[in-house]
Amino acid sequence: MGRIARTFDALKATGTPGLVTYVTAGDPDLARTAGILRSLDRAGADVLEVGVPFSDPLADGPVIQRATERALASGTTLRGVLDMVASVRADVKAPIVIFSYANPVLRFGAERFADQARDAGVDGVLILDLPIEEAEEFRGLLAARGIDTILLLSPTTTDLRLRKAAALGSGFLYAISRLGVTGARDAVADGAEEMVRRIRAVSSLPVALGFGISKPEHVREVGRWADAAVVGSALVNVIAEAGASNDLDRRVEEYVRWLKS
């Protein structure tokens, strides 16, 4: 049993909603990202999503787009992200999921990526724009190396494609609670509970629900239906505000402890 499965089993045993955190690798630079990952782990984040910066982040709102621009300007590459993950793996207890668009992985080489992800200690991979219909071969590459394939589901995903995702995915399923781009919101989307219900009807995999989560009350609300809440833009914004300051790691840790409260 891998780290992701063990993590969600432990959450289920305690009845506690999990927290999945997303950061853009390389913002403000890869050395600081390594410190951020250690801070997230200390603060109790249950799964760490590490975003690979890409020049055309079509599903991301302005906060993550700007983080991606800063990361690319600092020279961040997919190879550099994997090396950074390898450097922190021994210090971090939480599972680490690489979050990427397909283009960087295809340019790197899918098999080479799978090998180096395994060597770095990556637990799961989510390719944002990889269609479920084309995911089986990539899933095979990852599964052969003990890495989970995390699939993304939206409110417009048909029941047929939900069943395909349930058959192909492993680790957990990532459900987005609203259409549009990423970004913090004042409230959880109205259709979030129904989205989770539809997934539960076809899959026993844990469900993590994201898009718009920024406050402890959001985490509590999502925890009524899903196994974990995903926070991305709000955390990336904390990192942007702290920048290269000496208290970056402290502010990240305090924010995540607040969310977990």
Which residues are part of the catalytic machinery?
A: 49, 60
CA distance 256 to 261: 9
DSSP-based three-state secondary structure for 98: strand
Q: Are 222 and 188 spatial neighbours (Cβ–Cβ below 8 Å)?
A: yes
- Cα dihedral angle (173, 18, 40, 27), rounded to 10 degrees? 40
- The Cα-based distances of 210 to 80, 140, 184, 187, 232 in angstroms read 27, 26, 10, 12, 8
Q: Are 127 and 148 spatial neighbours (Cβ–Cβ below 8 Å)?
A: no
- Continuous segment of H or E residues that includes residue 153: strand 151-153
CA distance 85 to 121: 7
Q: Are 175 and 157 spatial neighbours (Cβ–Cβ below 8 Å)?
A: no
Q: Any idea which residue has 């989970």 for tokens?
A: 148
Q: Are 59 and 182 spatial neighbours (Cβ–Cβ below 8 Å)?
A: yes
